[in-house]
Amino acid sequence: MRLILTVAILAAALWSGYWALAARGLETGIAAWVETRRAEGWAADYADVQVAGFPLRFETTLSDLALADPGTGLAWTAPAFRIEAEAHRPNRVLAIWPEVQQIATPVETIAIGAQRMEGRLGFRPGPALEVMQAAYALEEVSLASSLGWEASLARGELSAALVEGREDTHRIGFAAEQVRLPARLVALVDRAGILPGLFEHLRIDAVLAFDAPWDRRAIEERRPQITRIELTRLDAKWGDLELSAAGVLDVDAAGLPTGTLTVRATNWHDMVAIAHASGRLPGGLADRLEEALGLIAGLSGRPDTLDVPLRLAAGQTWLGPVPLGPVPDFTIR
């Protein structure tokens, strides 16, 4: 009995020592990281760091955190930021953002509010801290810009996991519900006034290849850039307009994609009306295009549903010979 008690006391003492050393290492590691950023020209500061959770967890809280990257002009401030991990698995963490925070760019400041904003991340063991899997949850998120626009999101989820056997390639899933876009963006996209301000839902499943791993250097140096998109599913509903798409795109060094997407659009007449009202389709061309698309849709037996390939090339999105507008820029700043 005495031996068991002695072993238990020794184990408790060793565990307490491990926890204390690890907690101290977290504090000094954060301080060293901030000092390194300052030496590189960043504006980096925090008021205090506290590590709690003994004996089974590390609960690290930074208060009055401010980071600004001179290379991108991006800055982030938050009254608090919390990172939690189980003591026996420190490479799996829960990151918790505060209910209010702020992001600044060279042209605007965006106030962010969130009822819930957290992410679970699993890192590959080692100093590089490469992200192997991640899952983020968002609830009641609001954005308010100094330029006057506002946006909101009722619920959102983002997941990512490394694809085995493919270097720097991640399987991505994103879902969002009840997205309210900035009014000026809706007005710019839809001058005909067909679409409501509320985007009902969006779901994306894809495999993304990058030119570098997502590790600590993604923050300290440069963001990895997308080189290939394998879109397995995109489903969206905006008012009466329903859209689904799939396809493969290659992305060049400028962030511009090339490839083909197979798109299914329900109530596609609204798309033509929106493109016409925006000025991207002249009246005569819009009429001819709607007539041609109507013939294609009629062949399927569902005149309100259209299945067409969209070609992305030379910086433009094409429906056959008709340019629909510029391709998206996938550059990650």
Binned at pLDDT 50, 70 and 90, residue 95 comes out as very high
pLDDT, position 1? 62
Averaged pLDDT for residues 134-146:
97
Confidence of residue 151 (pLDDT cuts 50, 70, 90): very high
The helix (run of H) or strand (run of E) holding residue 144 is strand 131-145
The token pair that represents 162 in the structure block: 């490394």
The residue written with tokens 């309100």 in the block is 304
pLDDT tens digits, 158-179: 999 999 999 999 999 999 999 9
> Which distant-in-sequence residues (6+ apart) come within 8 Å of 25 by Cβ?
none
CA torsion sign for 41, 43, 49, 51 is negative
Residue 85 has pLDDT above 70, yes or no: yes
| Contact (Cβ atoms closer than 8 angstroms) between residue 53 and residue 59 | yes
Minimum mean pLDDT range among 241-245, 260-264, 278-282:
278-282
The confidence band for 56, taking pLDDT boundaries of 50, 70 and 90, is: confident
| Residue pointed to by tokens 């969006």 | 202
Cis (ω within 30 of 0) for the bond into 90? no
CA distance 141 to 149: 14
